[in-house]
């Protein structure tokens, strides 16, 4: 039986028991009221008999008063008959006490007869002696009726007390026992389910409930499981979303800060050669006016150098922007081609400074990467080796080594240049950082460009620098899954 059905049965039994108890109480109260009416009937009959005795001793007949007394007597049987319902009649018939009802009817008929005699007397159709005789008979009938009424009513009340009270007690006990049983079955179901769920926390709830719990409890638990799962998923989703938003906010904040810093430094460094050029132009004007053409010429050369600086800076800023936007077209690369291309670009400087170049490249294994990024990395590292050579050394040197082992390419670019000051190695890959202001020929963006490309290719770069030179080691995995074009 379903829990809701069991609970409904408990409610029905309780209502039934209470109704029966209340009905019994009303029935007993009705029996008591019948006794009261019978006593009242006897009282009015006594008053009526007393009045007849006074009339027999000579008192004048007062028909109205006599009619009022008879009417008072008539009220009690009428009230009794009105209070009796079908159930009462059935019970009384069953226990054979229904003669009380016949007595009531007879009493009403006797009263009506007395009232009729009084009416005939008032109309002059009945003599005083006839009236008194009829009233005397009625008074005697009223007494007889009262006596005849009392016994069956007493027996009826007794019957009710002896049967209904034990019945009420019995029904109550039965009810209590049924309710206790139903409650216990509900409690056991709940306890059993709780114990079952507590036993094995690893199996899914639905699997655990299978064959063990049924009906509404199972429906409740299944609905709860669905709801808990949904809540958990929502909470998990919210946590993920919050984390995502926090990460993105942090990333955007960092990007924003970097962009602001970049804009500031870029605008500063772009403006600086222009400001210098403006000053130098003024000085050229003064020098020409003073006739100092030699100084004017020197200043014109200085302007050219400032323009070179500006040009380099613009080129590097564009390269840095391209590093972000570059199409990562992965191709099979040949490092010897890349290095040759870079060397060709710097051939004039290398020859002029008498730099010794050592190249050791093994292109024996197929290696795939974004060529344009690798070219810029090699170009910037070689450029730095050329720019920041140590003029105190008789022979500047740069070596480039490329090896591929199990899809991991390792590029080493080593020079015997000025090295990077030990206290500034943490700033190595930051934008607009120049470590040798006394040379100051770079834009300060070269290694930032290198780092950007390295990050975009998910590669790694390490730097080892001292007073005897600098060595950069790039480790890059051959791309296997994102080849867009094969060359």
Partner 1 sequence: MSNYSILIIDDNEIDRYVLKRQLERTGLPLTIFEQPDGEDAIRLLSAYEANRAKYAGKFPPILLFLDINMPKLDGWGFLREFLLVRSQYDYSTSVVVLFTSSDRPEDRAQGEQFDFVQNYLVKGQYDTEQLKTLILAAA
Degrees, nearest 5: CA angle 434-435-441: 55
C-beta closer to partner 1: residue 211 or 437: 437
Residue 143 or 298 having the CB closest to partner 1: 298
- Helices 371-387 + 446-456 axis angle, to 10: 150
Q: Does 390 bind partner 1 (CB under 8 A)?
A: no
Give the length of the chain.
487
Least distance in Å: CB of 456 to partner 1?
Answer: 27
CB of 426 to partner 1, least distance (A): 14
Residue among 35 and 265 whose Cβ is closer to partner 1: 265
For residue 107, give both structure tokens: 């009493």
CB neighbours of 117 closer than 8 A, spacing ≥ 6? 126, 130, 131, 134, 135, 138
For 291-334, where are the alpha helices, taking DSSP H only?
293-325
Residue 233, CA atoms < 13 Å, CB-side half-sphere: 6
CB of 243 to partner 1, least distance (A): 33
Structure tokens at 69: 């007394």
Check residue 304 for interaction with partner 1 (CB under 8 A). no
Closest separation in Å from C-beta 269 to partner 1 = 8
Nearer to partner 1, 276 or 383 (CB): 276
Q: Quote the strand ranges of 114-219, DSSP E.
A: none
Distance CA 46, CA 128 (A): 21
Q: How far is the CB of 368 from partner 1 (least distance, A)?
A: 39
* Complex with partner 1: residue 218 or 302, whichever CB lies closer: 302
Q: Which lies closer to partner 1 via its Cβ, residue 308 or residue 341? A: 308
Which x/- pattern over 158-197 shows residues binding partner 1 (rule: CB under 8 A)? Answer: ----------------------------------------
Quick one: 198 or 289, whose CB is closer to partner 1? 289
Tell me the site size for partner 1, rule CB under 8 A.
Answer: 26
Q: Are strands 460-466 and 397-405 parallel, antiparallel or unpaired?
A: unpaired
DSSP 201: S
Neighbouring C-beta atoms of residue 447, cutoff 10 Å: 25
Which pair of structure tokens corresponds to residue 348?
């004039």
R_g of the chain computed on alpha carbons: 61
The Cα 64–Cα 338 span in angstroms is 145
Instruction: Tell me the window of 242-250, 299-307, 409-417, 453-461 that interacts with partner 1 (CB under 8 A).
Output: 299-307
CB of 275 to partner 1, least distance (A): 3
Work out how close the CB of 483 gets to partner 1 at its nearest, in angstroms, rounded to a whole number. 42
Report d(CA 51, CA 72) in Å as an integer.
14
The b-or-e profile of 450-468 (16+ CB within 10 A means b, else e) is bbbbbeebebebeeebeee
When the beta carbons of 250 and 440 are compared against partner 1, the nearer one is 440
Q: Which is nearer to partner 1, 253 or 282 (CB)?
A: 282
State the minimum distance, in angstroms, from the CB of residue 430 to partner 1: 11
Q: Which of residues 63-102 bind partner 1 (CB under 8 A)?
A: none
User: Taking CB under 8 A as the rule, which mask of x and - marks residues 259-298 in contact with partner 1?
Assistant: -----xx--xx-xx-xxx-xxx-xx--x------------
Residue from 35, 137, 155, 302 touching partner 1 (CB under 8 A): that is: 302
Q: How far is CA 230 from CA 198, 221, 227, in A?
A: 21, 14, 5
CA distance 122 to 134: 14
Task: Kindly tell me which of 260 and 321 has the beta carbon lying closer to partner 1.
Answer: 260
Binders of partner 1 in range 425-444 (CB under 8 A) = 433-435, 437-438, 440
**Minimum CB distance to partner 1, residue 431 (Å):** 12
Both tokens of residue 197?
């769920």
Q: Judge residue 448's burial from the number of C-beta atoms within 10 Å of its C-beta, 0-12 exposed, 13-18 middle, 19 or more buried.
A: buried
306 binds partner 1 (CB under 8 A): yes
As measured in angstroms, the least distance from the Cβ of 311 to partner 1 is 15
Structure tokens at 425: 């190695």
Minimum distance, C-beta of residue 425 to partner 1, in the bound complex (Å): 14
* C-beta of residue 413 within 8 angstroms of C-beta of residue 385: yes
Query: Quick one: 322 or 436, whose CB is closer to partner 1?
Result: 436
In sequence order, which ranges of 57-98 are alpha helices (DSSP H)? 63-83, 86-94
Dihedrals phi, psi of 439, to nearest 5 degrees: -95, -55
In angstroms, what is the minimal distance from the CB of 327 to partner 1? 34
> What are the residues binding partner 1 (CB under 8 A)?
264-265, 268-269, 271-272, 274-276, 278-280, 282-283, 286, 302, 305-306, 421, 424, 433-435, 437-438, 440
């Amino acid at each position: 039986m379903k829990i809701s059905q069991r609970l409904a049965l408990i409610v029905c039994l309780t209502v039934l028991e209470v109704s029966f108890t209340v009905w019994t109480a009303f029935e007993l109260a009705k029996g008591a009221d019948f006794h009261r009416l019978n006593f009242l009937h006897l009282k009015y009959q006594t008053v009526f008999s007393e009045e007849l005795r006074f009339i027999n001793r000579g008192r004048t007949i007062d028909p109205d008063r006599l009619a009022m007394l008879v009417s008072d007597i008539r009220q009690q049987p009428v009230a009794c008959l009105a209070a009796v319902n079908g159930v009462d009649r059935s019970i009384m018939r069953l226990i054979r006490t229904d003669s009380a009802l016949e007595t009531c009817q007879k009493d009403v008929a006797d009263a009506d007869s007395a009232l009729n005699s009084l009416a005939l007397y008032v109309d002059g159709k009945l003599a005083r002696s006839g009236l008194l005789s009829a009233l005397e008979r009625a008074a005697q009938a009223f007494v007889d009726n009262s006596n005849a009424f009392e016994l069956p009513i007493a027996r009826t009340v007794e019957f009710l007390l002896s049967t209904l009270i034990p019945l009420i007690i019995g029904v109550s006990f039965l009810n209590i026992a049924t309710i206790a049983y139903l409650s216990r079955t509900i409690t056991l179901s709940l306890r059993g389910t709780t114990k079952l769920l507590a036993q094995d926390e690893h199996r899914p709830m639905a699997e655990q409930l299978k064959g063990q719990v049924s009906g509404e409890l199972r429906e409740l638990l299944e609905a709860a499981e669905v709801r808990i799962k949904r809540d958990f998923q929502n909470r998990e989703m919210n946590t993920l979303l919050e984390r995502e938003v926090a990460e993105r906010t942090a990333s955007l904040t960092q990007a924003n800060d970097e962009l602001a810093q970049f804009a500031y430094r870029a605008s500063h460094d772009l403006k600086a050669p222009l400001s210098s050029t403006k000053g130098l132009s003024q000085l050229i004007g003064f020098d020409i006016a003073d006739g100092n053409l030699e100084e004017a010429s020197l200043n014109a050369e200085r302007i050219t150098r400032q323009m070179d600086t500006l040009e380099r800076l613009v080129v590097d800023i564009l390269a840095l922007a391209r590093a972000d936007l570059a199409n990562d077209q992965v191709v099979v690369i040949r490092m010897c081609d890349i290095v040759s291309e870079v060397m060709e670009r710097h051939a004039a400087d290398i020859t002029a400074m008498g730099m010794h170049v050592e190249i050791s490249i093994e292109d024996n294994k197929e290696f795939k990467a974004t060529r344009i990024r690798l070219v810029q990395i090699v170009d910037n590292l070689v450029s730095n080796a050329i720019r920041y050579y140590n003029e105190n050394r008789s022979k500047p040197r740069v070596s480039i080594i490329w090896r591929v082992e199990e899809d991991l390419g390792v590029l080493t670019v080593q020079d015997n240049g000025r090295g990077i000051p030990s206290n500034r190695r943490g700033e190595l890959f930051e934008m607009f950082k120049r470590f040798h202001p006394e040379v100051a020929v770079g834009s300060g963006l070269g290694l930032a460009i290198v780092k950007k490309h390295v990050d975009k290719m998910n590669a790694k770069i390490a730097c080892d620098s001292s007073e005897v030179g600098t060595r950069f080691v790039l480790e890059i995995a051959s791309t296997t899954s994102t080849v867009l074009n094969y060359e």
